[in-house]
Amino acid sequence: MIDVLEIFLAEKGIYMLTFILMGLGIFGMIVCGNYMKKIICMNIMQVAIIFFFLTLGQKDGGTLPVLVHNLTSAEEYINPLPHALMLTAIVVSLGTTGVALALLMKIKEIYGTIEEEEITGKRWKK
Amino acid sequence: MINHLPVLIIIVPLMGAILCPLISYYSPEWGKKTVIGALFASFVMSVMQLVNVAERGEPVHYWMGGWNPPYGIEFVIDGVNAVMIAMVAAIGAMTALFSSPFEEANPKHRFRSAGYYSILCFLAIGLLGMSSTGDAFNLYVFMEIVSLAGYGLIAIGEEKAPVAAFRYLLTGTIGACMYLMGVGFLYSATGTLNMADMAVRLQDVENMTVIIIAMACLVVGLGVKMALFPLHGWQPAAHSYAHHAADPMIAGIMIKIPAYAMFRFFFCIFDESLPMMGAVHKIVGVMAVCGILFGSLKALRYHKYNKILAYSSIGQVGYIALGFAIGNFYGIAGAVLHIVSHAFMKTGLFYTSAALKYKYHIEYTDDLGQVYRKMPVTSLTLVTLALSMVGLPPFAGFFSKWYLALGAIQNGQYFYVAVLVASSLLGAIYFFRIFEKLFMGEETEMEDRYPAAEHGGKELPLRIMIPLLMAAAMIIALGLGNSLVVDFIEKTVLEVFLA
Amino acid sequence: MPVILLEAYFLLILIAIAIVVIFHKDLLAVTVIYCAFSFVAMVLYILVGAADVAFTEAVIGVISTVYFIIAIKSISRRCK
Amino acid sequence: MDKVKVIGVIVIIAGVITAGFVMGDFLPAIGDINSAPNGYLSVYYITNALHDTEAPNMVTAVLADYRGFDTLFETCVMFLAGVTTLMVLSSKRKVVKGKRNEHDLNGVSFGGTVLDTGFRIIIPVIVIYAFYVLSHGEISLGGGFQAGALLAIAYMIDRLIPSFQNSLGNFTEEAAAIIAGLGVFIYAFTGVLPMFNGGYFLEYDHLPFAFMTEEIVMLHSVGIFMIEAGVTVCVMGTIINILEVVLERTEFDD
Amino acid sequence: MIIESLRPLAAVAVSLLAAVLIMICGNRVKPDVREGITLGAAVIKALLVFSMVPAVLAGNEYYCSPWEIVDGISLAFRTDAAGMVFACVASGLWIVTSIYSIGYMRGHHEKNQTGYFAAFAVCLSSAIGIAFAANLITFFIFYEMLTIATYPLVSHYRNDSAKASGRKYLAYTLISGQLFFAAIVTVYVKYGTLDFRAGGFIEAGSMGQTAMLLLFILMLGGGAVKSGLMPLHGWLPSAMVAPTPVSALLHAVAVVKAGAFCVLRIVWFVFGAESAAWCGGGRLLTWLAAATIILSSLIAMRKDNLKARLAYSTIGQLSYIILGIGILAPYSVTGAAFHIVAHAFLKITLFMCAGAIYVTTGLSEISTMGGLFKRMPVTCVCFTAASLGIAGLPLLAGFVSKMNIIRGAFMENKLFFVAVLVAAALFALSYLIPVVRIFFGKEISSPVINEGGEASPAMLVPIVITAVVSFILGVMPNAGPQLYNLAVMAAQGGGPIG
């Protein structure tokens, strides 16, 4: 039973869950009226994508991509390339979050609210 | 020196951008000059590179860190992107020069101009990188640089700008993530990130589903960034509220280089013989047609100059996508030519918009009455560029339209030609409406914030005038010399992309 | 227990947290939950074998949570 | 609104699951050793990383050497984020600088003496750990980014706990941004150096430090350390920068 | 024989340069300098154009292709006989119009003269460009330039009616221009060339009959709009709000003639007689033209405003040209080509007379001009002569062209059109002679007519010149630059006469 589940997960299940997570992130960004939540959902989406990339590099029986002296074969290490890529992506996401927060605070100052409805509903008061 | 050009074009402005805050700490004036100088140096080098590529007749490769591809990151400069790089560098340098009178306006905050120039320079760097790189993931990194710089430059604009920037941030992040997903799918199928290598290895991939999904992701991701029709939501507000001086660059080239990237993916990485390419072309064609008509019609509704220009950009991006949808040599040549010519047109038009704001605070076309008497050069530039936007000869806009129509008819797609014609006419309506207001409207009393009498009879500072005139001159030059550009890209397009 | 099952388990937790984030009204609670999200994501990265990424995620989780909380200080805590 | 959300969530979950079943396999199975991403490039990196770059941690090898150019611009993204934040929130300050320290918080402890002391002890530990991570990133986990972030966390603790009165000193956000810029400069300059010596950009083989080492490959270690140091400085600067900017806007009324 | 020479390009460029100079000088210099530039450019241009006539008459062609304007097609200028006819008229009349507009603009104290003179110069450049264009793309570039350059002239007064007429003008010309563009691209893709060739390069039967007719209509739409063929004439009468030299330019020299010339080029040099007849385009043209001639004459009779009456007369006269081309016989085409010349001189005389009357006396309605002969004898005589010429009376230029068209119609056995042409001559008499009668009448309908004298010399001299020239052309069609021979050559597809 567990074998079947494992195979299913390896072939599809994990990807499905990842895409669900990503879908929820995007959905949250669209549907949440609060800008703060939009930012958090954005982060959720990014985590999903990062995880997707990382699963591409996973290897059964592989170990961390740090060279150990008695292991030399390529099969014994997890693919390091997605890790390197995702380090970059994760840093980018932090930068984006920082900028988003700054914008959020600026919006709060100008409009007095961070709710989508209130901002689109009323014009900026002088 | 000459073989380091591809990277120097990026590194020199990078040095300028990162040292600008430090230099500005001691002297804001010199910080500004550093960035402008760096961007001009980059422009000169990009022209040298253009000549170099033309002389060699084959793409220039530059291997970062000396690692040969696909292991390292590679810059590939061929006929098409050499033109793009020169264009970006030219507009970057011009915009940096153009901004300097605007940034003088806030002398209180010492860091303000440093930060502004730094971000502006990064925008140029990101765009240069996006056009140079031959690596799919590297393109993502540069795209993020472009986006972040874009958020910043939009957010420091008018009062409503932060919301526009925030929306762009959200949509832009989704777009970037979709792009990343697309690259991820391609990586999962090929195991490589180098574009040329990817193209080779994709031929062995039998599973079409992954390619289709990757393509969909890429179209959505790059579509968001280039404001292709159903994904354009962020664009009008962002383009109309952005920082006045940076707006030309944002509107002019920030949405063009993703279009170029799309071209790369469609014609360089994906094989033309793939079974679903026809369907993809059709879908992009539908998006383009809707975008062209939507943008042109929507522009009719507005009286705010920037909004009109922003919506017209949606239409013009549609032209570029239409070229990709046509997909033969003339279609691509038209698209590439339109990327370049529209970049100069839109930049120039936003220059005029910024100049009007600088001198008279004019935002709405209704206030334009008789301004041409006070600002003849600006008005003349506006007329030139707008006529080019409409697509009238002998300006550049006409010729890109010519190639697009040529390609469309070669493929028997007469409908596309009809759309082009309709869009030109709609464009004529809103631009001639502006002309009418400009030349025949009623004169309105406005406070002149740069009175010509006090400045030796000058209508605007020279630093604004030069970029304005440069844009107009480029449009005429591109129009009359378009066959040079087409010849230049012809070899590349025929050999690499349509092989 | 095979790694893949653990992965699925933690992914489900992430999904649950995402749903909570979408529905919850209190921003502070959402932020704290996001901190947990970050932590679970870190565990997940370790499971996948990406220790470097996990390390980074841990550090970033702290930093972005701090940012969020400081930001919440200046904006209202409730949301619609 | 909530109804929409519920429906949406259900639709997404159901949609992805159905799509997953309908579409069939188009992604390699997880853990498959022979999948496309796990062959090709990855084999090259795993077998040649040590030989090429002298870095046992392959992630660092890829990050800092094979794809060092990416990392340069990742660093730039951080710097840019800092500058952008600063620009966005530069106008019209809400809280006067130093006000916080002056009146309401003087001598107030954060969580009692024990916690305060605990944090006091932690700060130097974090700093030391950060330097360890930086210098050891090549061999084991970590690297410039993590080190920079740790340093920034140390600063953050110092800054945010009121009773500390900023014993580490107080950065202005401008200074932090400038420092971040210097970090990128270190990185970029490391990249430019080989170009004077006949190499490509970021080609550590051609760094002009050959006199220091016997083997050319060792230059990679030098190069990687230099850029990691640059990343550290930049990340630290940026995080502090954003923190300071955000803090300036926040009123601590409790 | 083809002579490689930059002269055609120079002829085009000289007035563009003049426009740029005028723009740069702007209001900073005295009006004299501005007008000096215009006149100088006009004279140089005319000299350049006329200097090429002898070689063209000998069967040679000047050819000049400076560079490739789009991939595979050059920007090319070629001075064939048909182009020479149009170029001679346009450049010759520019001098006259410039002198006249100096008088008119000063006498009328017009505003915005800088823009006016600059746009005028660009118009002329485009007209010469249209005349000398060797292929469709060059032709189209100048065609659109003409469209745009005329717009500021049409809406010169910048009031609401000027705006409205400007809009109308743009709507007609831009739409037709864009359709023209689409047709050009189609032709290029289908036939691989855009070079004008005597006898046309589109072969009958190379595509479906309906498709070719559609192509024919799309291509001729541009020309038809510019030449005011009904039902596409709407813009022309409303452009009457423009100042008189502009209407003179519009109606006599550049714009409408460019339209007529466009029809000539496309029917005779793109499609050729055979294809045009095969697809039914020729017949379509003739019927439309015939209807236009009749209808416009009827409308013209009812107009009291002198300029409006002349405008409808223009519509009718231009249809003569189109009718001549549509008949597709060499004789009628000769007549059409020569009618470009004849009508230009006659109509410009009429318009300049109308302008002179308006500036001198302030009258614009015909019914108020009774007894004008007493005050402005020279103007009235010239007006009379030109009216008779328009009607096609012998000894005046109109006769030569109309005779040729009628001869062509006879040879093609299209007797109906002969009847139309004859009737049209009577119609022309019927709407112009009443004007003349009012001029010479005893009854004085406005007090201004008793005061003051003739128009200023700057206006009078051009009027007399054009009137005399139209007389000379009527008596000796080959006087001067042998325009009649050129027209014959144009219709026969190059090669010297005899």
Which residue ranges make up each domain of chain A? Answer: 2-121
Banded model confidence at residue A125, pLDDT cuts 50, 70, 90: very low
Split into its structural domains, chain D has a count of: 1
Answer whether residue D211 shows pLDDT above 80.
no
CB–CB of B440/E163 below 8 Å?
yes
Of the two residues B101 and D168, the one the predictor is more confident about is B101
Residue E14 is predicted with a pLDDT of 85
The pTM of this model reads 0.91
Domain span at C70: 3-74
Domain coordinates in residue numbering, chain E: 2-492
Test B18 with D42 for CB contact under 8 angstroms: no
> Tell me, what DSSP letter sits at residue D56?
S
Asked if A touches C (at least 3 Cβ pairs < 8 angstroms), the answer reads: yes
Nearest to A120 by CA among D146, E366, E449, B163: B163
CB–CB of A50/A108 below 8 Å?
no
Test D43 with A11 for CB contact under 8 angstroms: no
Test A80 with D21 for CB contact under 8 angstroms: no
Asked if C touches B (at least 3 Cβ pairs < 8 angstroms), the answer reads: no
The H or E element spanning position A122 is none
Asked if E touches A (at least 3 Cβ pairs < 8 angstroms), the answer reads: no
Phi, psi of E469, rounded to the nearest 5 degrees: -60, -40
Cα E38 from Cα E32, distance rounded (Å) = 10
Residue B89 is predicted with a pLDDT of 93
Handedness of CA B198, B199, B205, B206 (dihedral sign): positive
Question: Over the stretch B202-228, which tens digit does the pLDDT of each residue have?
Answer: 888 878 888 888 888 999 999 999 888
> Residue B72: left (phi > 0), alpha (psi -120 to 50), or beta?
beta
Q: Identify the three-state secondary structure at position B135.
A: strand
Domain span at D131: 63-248
Residue D17 included in any domain: no
Residues of D in contact with B137 (CB under 8 A): 67, 70
* CA angle (D126, D129, D134) in 5-degree steps: 125
Domain coordinates in residue numbering, chain B: 280-499
CATH class entry, domain A2-121: mainly alpha
Cα E266 from Cα B338, distance rounded (Å) = 30
Question: Over the stretch D213-254, which tens digit does the pLDDT of each residue have?
Answer: 777 778 888 888 888 899 999 999 999 988 888 887 766 544
Q: What is the distance in angstroms between the Cα of E93 and the nearest Cα belonging to chain B?
A: 26
Phi, psi of B395, rounded to the nearest 5 degrees: -90, 170
- The arithmetic mean of pLDDT across residues E382-401, rounded, is 78
CB–CB of E81/E489 below 8 Å?
yes
Question: Over the stretch D128-144, which tens digit does the pLDDT of each residue have?
Answer: 888 888 887 777 777 88
Banded model confidence at residue D95, pLDDT cuts 50, 70, 90: very low
Q: Which residues of E265-301 are buried (b: 16+ CB within 10 A; e: fewer)?
A: bbbbbbbbbbbbbbbebbebbbebbbebbbbbbebbe
HEC per residue, chain E: CEEECCHHHHHHHHHHHHHHHHHHHHHHCCHHHHHHHHHHHHHHHHHHHHHCHHHHHCCCEEEECCCEEECCEECCEECCHHHHHHHHHHHHHHHHHHHHHHHHHHHHCCCCHHHHHHHHHHHHHHHHHHHHECEHHHHHHHHHHHHHHHHHHHCCCCCHHHHHHHHHHHHHHHHHHHHHHHHHHHHHHHHCCCECCCCCCCCCCCCCHHHHHHHHHHHHHHHHHHHCCCCCCCHHHHHHHCCHHHHHHHHHHCHHHHHHHHHHHHHHHHHHHHHHHHCCHHHHHHHHHHHHHHHHHHHHHHCCEHHHHHHHHHHHHHHHHHHHHHHCCHHHHHHHHHHHHHHHHHHHHHHHHHHHHHHHHCCCEHHHCCCHHHHCHHHHHHHHHHHHHHHCCCCCHHHHHHHHHHHHHHHCCCHHHHHHHHHHHHHHHHHHHHHHHHHHCCCCCCHHHHCCCCCCHHHHHHHHHHHHHHHHHHHCCCHHHHHHHHHHHHHHCCCCCC
Answer whether residue E292 shows pLDDT above 80.
yes
**Percentage of chain B lying above the pLDDT 90 cut:** 27
Looking at the complex, does the CB of residue B469 fall below 8 Å from at least one CB of chain E? no
Neighbours of chain D (3+ CB pairs under 8 A): A, B, C
Question: Over the stretch C22-41, which tens digit does the pLDDT of each residue have?
Answer: 888 888 888 889 999 999 99
Question: Over the stretch D166-183, which tens digit does the pLDDT of each residue have?
Answer: 666 677 888 888 889 999
Test C74 with A31 for CB contact under 8 angstroms: no
Residues of C in contact with A10 (CB under 8 A): 4
Return the amino acid letter for E66. P
Question: Over the stretch B406-460, which tens digit does the pLDDT of each residue have?
Answer: 889 888 888 998 998 999 899 888 888 888 888 887 777 777 777 777 777 777 8
Residue C80 included in any domain: no
Q: What is the distance in angstroms between the Cα of D37 and the nearest Cα belonging to chain A?
A: 7
Q: Are strands B60-63 and B74-77 parallel, antiparallel or unpaired?
A: antiparallel
Question: Over the stretch E475-497, which tens digit does the pLDDT of each residue have?
Answer: 777 777 777 777 777 777 655 54
Q: How many CB atoms lie within 10 A of CB D33?
A: 16
- Name the least confident of A101-115, B119-133, B143-157, E24-38: E24-38
Return the amino acid letter for E166. G
Residues of B in contact with A99 (CB under 8 A): 148, 151-152, 169
- The arithmetic mean of pLDDT across residues E165-170, rounded, is 85
Q: Which residues of B326-354 are buried (b: 16+ CB within 10 A; e: fewer)?
A: bbbbbbbbbbbbbbbbbbbbbbbbbbbbb
Nearest to A46 by CA among C37, B370, B132, E28: C37
Cα B390 from Cα E26, distance rounded (Å) = 27
Residue C64 included in any domain: yes
CB–CB of B228/B287 below 8 Å?
yes
Test A87 with C53 for CB contact under 8 angstroms: yes
Average pLDDT over all residues of chain E: 79
Of the two residues E406 and E182, the one the predictor is more confident about is E182
Answer whether residue B126 shows pLDDT above 90.
yes
Cα A86 from Cα B169, distance rounded (Å) = 20
Nearest CA in chain C to A47: C41
Handedness of CA B2, B7, B12, B13 (dihedral sign): positive
In the numeric block, which tokens belong to residue C20? Answer: 């909570």
Split into its structural domains, chain C has a count of: 1
In the numeric block, which tokens belong to residue E121? Answer: 């110069």
**Rounded alpha-carbon distances, angstroms, from residue E168 to E141, E162, E225, E351:** 21, 10, 12, 22
Banded model confidence at residue B106, pLDDT cuts 50, 70, 90: low
Banded model confidence at residue D107, pLDDT cuts 50, 70, 90: very low
Strand partners, B74: B63
- The arithmetic mean of pLDDT across residues E156-161, rounded, is 77
- The arithmetic mean of pLDDT across residues B379-398, rounded, is 88
Q: How many CB atoms lie within 10 A of CB E395?
A: 13
Nearest to C73 among D142, D150, D250 (CB): D250
Residue B123 is predicted with a pLDDT of 92
